[in-house]
Amino acid sequence: MNAPSHCALCKSRDRDVVQTQSLALLNRDEACKIDFSVCKACGHLQQWPPPVSPELMAHHYKTFATYEIFGDAKRLRSAPPAIHTERFLALVRDMGLAPGRAYEVGCASGEMLHQFKNHGWQVRGCDPSPSAVSQARAIFDIDADLGGEEKAIPRQKDLDLILACHVLEHLYDPPATLARFHAALTPNGYLVVEVPCATAPQSLPPGWFTFEHLHYYQPAILEVLLKNAGFELVEARIDMRTHHYPVITIAARKMPQPPLEIVPFEPTNGVLLAHSYAARDKLLSIAVAKRVARFKEPVFLYGAGIHTAQLLDRTNLAPRIIAIADRDPKKWGQTQAGKPVISPQELFTHPAKAPVIVSSYVSEKPIVDALLKGGIESSRIIPLYADMADLGAEERPNRIAG
C-alpha cells in the first residue's frame, strides 16, 4: 500500500513536521520512523507521511494491544459502567434519545454495549481483536463482528446510534469512515464519538505523540470534519480531569441532506497549537533525558512497549540496558532494541543488582509498588515522572487536578 502523501482530512500536501520519532518495536530489528506533521491548509496534527503502516499496526493490535478484560464474568456483568461509558450514557440520556438500534465501532470486549443493552438498546458492534470479540459473546452475550468498521459498517443500515469511543484517532481515512457512518444511520440518527482532545498543551502527558494515534484532534477541526460529513453538532463536552489527558465527547445528528457547501477549515489556530504541543513535548523529553543521564552504569527497564521505544529514542540508554522486564507474558522472550524482555520474577531474582528505571507514565505507581513487593530495594527503583518537581519548574507539566 502506498503511504498517503497528503493530509488525511483535507488532502493538502503542505505540511510542517513538528516531531519525528524512531521507535524500536518488539521483535523488530528495523526502527519504525514516524513524522508528526501539522497540515498548513487545515491545521490538523497527524502522523504524516507515512503513518505507521496498516500491516505493522495490525500486528501490534493482534499481539500486544488486544483490549481484553480480566476478571470473573459474573462480576463483570454486574459492574457499574466504566468512566467513558458513563459519559456516553449521560450524553445520550441528556439528549433524550429513546432506545433503538445501537452499533459500536471498536467495541473491544463489549462493556459499553452491555451497559447500553441494560438501558433498553438493541446492541451490536465490531472490533479487530479476535479475543475481544469472543469475550463480548462469552461474557456479555453480545454479537460482535470481527474486523474493522470498513467491512462491518457497510453491512448495517437504519441504525439509530453509532458509538465510537477512542476510535477516530486510529483511523487511516477519517472522512471515509464518517461517510460510512452517515450511510448506515437512519435519517436523524445519532453519532457519539470520543477522542483525546488537543486543546491545552500544558496538560500534555509524556508519550502523547504516539505510535497508535494517527490523529490529534482539536475541537474546532473535529467539528468541521463532522459537518462536512453531513452531521450537525448537538453537544460537545470536554473532560479535563478524569484521564491523564483531556478528552472530548461529541454527539452529532445525521443531517438528512448532504451539506450544500464544504465548510472550510481555519488552519491558523491549529498550526499554532500543534507547534505548542511539540514544544511542550520537547521540554518534557529533555527533562527525562537529563534525569536518566545521571545513570552511567548498566540498568534494567520496567515496561516493554511504545513508551520504552520513545524513551530509547530520546536518550542514550539503549547500550546500557541489561534487560527489559514486563508483566505481560506475551512479551516474555521477545526483544526490544536487541534487549531481552523478561518476566518480573526474572528481574527479582537476577544476579545483577542494577537500578530499575520505570518506563511508564500511566502505570508508574503500581509498577513501583510491584517492584517493592518483589523485593527490589527502593534505592534501586527510578520512577521517571513521580516527582515532577525534580524535572525543573519550567519543564513541569501542570498536573491535572483529580
Q: Are strands 159-165 and 185-196 parallel, antiparallel or unpaired?
A: parallel
Q: What DSSP string describes 389-402?
A: GGG-GGGPPPPPP-
Give the residue with the Cβ less far from Zn ion, 41 or 292: 41
To Zn ion, the closest distance from the beta carbon of 12 in angstroms equals 5
Give the residue with the Cβ less far from Zn ion, 11 or 353: 11
Residue 256 exposure: Cα atoms within 13 Å on the Cβ side: 2
Q: What DSSP string describes 255-292?
A: -SS--SSPPPP-HHHHHHHHHHHHHHHHHHHHHHHHHH
Give the residue with the Cβ less far from Zn ion, 46 or 249: 46
Distance (Å, whole) CA 104 – CA 143: 11
Kindly tell me which residue out of 25, 34, 39, 214 binds Zn ion, with binding defined by CB under 5 A.
39
Listed residue (205, 166, 215) closest to 38, CA to CA: 215
Q: How many helices (H) and strands (E) does the chain have?
A: 12, 17
Give the residue with the Cβ less far from Zn ion, 10 or 144: 10
List the interface residues with Zn ion, window 316-345 (CB under 5 A). Answer: none
To Zn ion, the closest distance from the beta carbon of 42 in angstroms equals 3
Kindly tell me which residue out of 26, 42, 222, 309 binds Zn ion, with binding defined by CB under 5 A.
42
- Does the footprint of Zn ion cover residue 10 (CB under 5 A)? yes
- Does the footprint of Zn ion cover residue 7 (CB under 5 A)? yes
Give the residue with the Cβ less far from Zn ion, 174 or 189: 174
CA 218 and chain centroid, separation: 15
To Zn ion, the closest distance from the beta carbon of 9 in angstroms equals 5
Give the residue with the Cβ less far from Zn ion, 13 or 62: 13
Give the residue with the Cβ less far from Zn ion, 175 or 205: 175
Of the listed pieces 31-39, 99-107, 185-193, 393-401, which binds Zn ion according to CB under 5 A?
31-39
Q: Are strands 32-39 and 45-47 parallel, antiparallel or unpaired?
A: antiparallel
Give the residue with the Cβ less far from Zn ion, 37 or 308: 37
To Zn ion, the closest distance from the beta carbon of 44 in angstroms equals 5
Of the listed pieces 34-42, 305-313, 337-345, 364-372, which binds Zn ion according to CB under 5 A?
34-42
Give the residue with the Cβ less far from Zn ion, 274 or 382: 274
Indicate if the alpha-carbon torsion angle 297, 302, 308, 311 is positive or negative: negative
Instruction: For Cα atoms 335, 337, 342, give the angle at the middle one, nearest 5 degrees.
Output: 35
> In terms of C-beta distances under 8 Å and separation of at least 24 residues, what long-range contacts does 133-141 make, across chains too?
135/68, 135/69, 135/109, 135/110, 136/107, 136/108, 136/109, 136/110, 137/110, 138/73, 139/69, 139/73, 139/76, 139/77, 139/109, 139/110, 140/76, 140/77, 140/109, 140/110, 140/111, 140/113, 140/114
To Zn ion, the closest distance from the beta carbon of 200 in angstroms equals 22
Of the listed pieces 12-20, 22-30, 233-241, 251-259, which binds Zn ion according to CB under 5 A?
12-20
In 297-376, beta strands by DSSP E: 299-302, 321-325, 335-336, 339-342, 356-358
To Zn ion, the closest distance from the beta carbon of 7 in angstroms equals 3
Of the listed pieces 42-50, 148-156, 236-244, 311-319, which binds Zn ion according to CB under 5 A?
42-50
To Zn ion, the closest distance from the beta carbon of 399 in angstroms equals 33
- Residue for grid cell 518534557: 284
Of the listed pieces 41-49, 95-103, 213-221, 320-328, which binds Zn ion according to CB under 5 A?
41-49
Listed residue (369, 356, 350) closest to 303, CA to CA: 356
Give the residue with the Cβ less far from Zn ion, 110 or 267: 267
Kindly tell me which residue out of 4, 12, 67, 237 binds Zn ion, with binding defined by CB under 5 A.
12
What string marks each residue from 171 to 200 as x (binds Zn ion by CB under 5 A) or -? ------------------------------
List the interface residues with Zn ion, window 56-115 (CB under 5 A). Answer: none
- Does the footprint of Zn ion cover residue 18 (CB under 5 A)? no
Specify the 3-state DSSP secondary structure of 208.
coil
Taking each helix axis as running N to C, give the angle between helix 130-140 and helix 111-118, from 0 to 180 degrees, rounded to the nearest 10: 30
Binding stretches for Zn ion (CB under 5 A): 7, 9-10, 12, 39, 41-42
